[in-house]
Amino acid sequence: MRKMFITRGVAQPGRVLPSGGRSRWFDSSHPDQYCYHHCRYIVDLISQGMSKMATNDSLLKTPKQFNLLTQCLHGIIFLLISLQFYLAYRREFFPKDLPERLTYLLWHKSIGMLVLGLGILFILWSFIKKRPPYSLIARRWERMTAKTVHLLLFALIIAMPLSGYFMSQFADRPIQLFNIYTFHQWVTPDKAWADIFYQMHGYLSYALIGLVSVHVLGALVHYFIYNDDVVTRMFPFIKSRKF
């Protein structure tokens, strides 16, 4: 016997799933509720591209998982961005121009420029490679929100490092890549512009925290409430709750 909790949102009239009104527990040993599991199964098949099978061979082309490069880049960028927040936070412990603070900033700038490079690759690759379809179990507004948040995250992966880059350029501060390469100073130093990019860098970091929170919340809803494969297709090492 398998029990699961479904919310009012999933069980709306006009959807393939049974309408229920209130949130409640479903029990797969009950014949009516067994039907519900069939519905879920069919919705899953459709979401994986089965609906197009009759007309062409797109099923073969519709991926069920994110490809390995997307999965790796997504994970690495997430880890590096988390590290960026840690380094920015740690630098505050040391007064301006102290060597320790500059070391933290050197690492912060280097990792930031690395995120810029990996981010461009991630975006190009994500637009070239076909992604798995958005979950059909989610409501329309949820899919729209997910798409919008993804687009904004793509934009922030680039805007965060670029604002940092221009902040340092206008402040005439060196930007290095792990002591291997020093970026050319090509902008005429200007304190007013350095301040604008400093402010922008700070505000964008708040936006990033907000969007990643919504993004993770969505992933948790898919994993624990919808029980679909949205999380496992990006993180294949996580155990699936799909039935």
State the residues that interact with ligand HEM by CB under 6 A. Answer: 70, 74, 77-78, 81, 84-85, 88, 105, 108-109, 112-113, 115, 126, 131-132, 134, 146, 150, 153-154, 157, 160-161, 164-165, 167-168, 175, 198, 201-202, 205, 212, 215-216, 219, 230-231, 233-234
Q: What distance in Å separates the CA atoms of residue 209 and residue 88, rounded to the nearest whole number?
A: 14
The residue whose two tokens read 């708040």 is 206
- Indicate the residue type of 69: L
Comparison of 40 and 233: residue with beta carbon closer to ligand HEM: 233
Burial 187-204 (b: 16+ CB within 10 A, else e): eeeeeebbeebbebbeeb
Shortest distance, position 75 Cβ to ligand HEM, whole Å:
8
Q: Are 191 and 98 in contact (CB under 8 A)?
A: no
- φ/ψ of 171, rounded to 5, equals -85, 0
Q: How far does CA 53 lie from the centroid of its chain?
A: 29
Comparison of 15 and 94: residue with beta carbon closer to ligand HEM: 94
Shortest distance, position 188 Cβ to ligand HEM, whole Å:
17
Q: What distance in Å separates the CA atoms of residue 233 and residue 48, rounded to the nearest whole number?
A: 12
Comparison of 85 and 243: residue with beta carbon closer to ligand HEM: 85
Shortest distance, position 146 Cβ to ligand HEM, whole Å:
6
Shortest distance, position 175 Cβ to ligand HEM, whole Å:
4
Comparison of 225 and 234: residue with beta carbon closer to ligand HEM: 234
Shortest distance, position 166 Cβ to ligand HEM, whole Å:
8
CB atoms near residue 146 (< 10 Å): 19
Shortest distance, position 22 Cβ to ligand HEM, whole Å:
28
CB atoms near residue 46 (< 10 Å): 14
Comparison of 6 and 157: residue with beta carbon closer to ligand HEM: 157
Shortest distance, position 165 Cβ to ligand HEM, whole Å:
4
Q: CA gyration radius for the chain? A: 23
Comparison of 19 and 82: residue with beta carbon closer to ligand HEM: 82
Residues 6 or more apart from 212 whose CB is under 8 A from it?
A: 153
Comparison of 27 and 143: residue with beta carbon closer to ligand HEM: 143
Q: Are 39 and 11 in contact (CB under 8 A)?
A: no
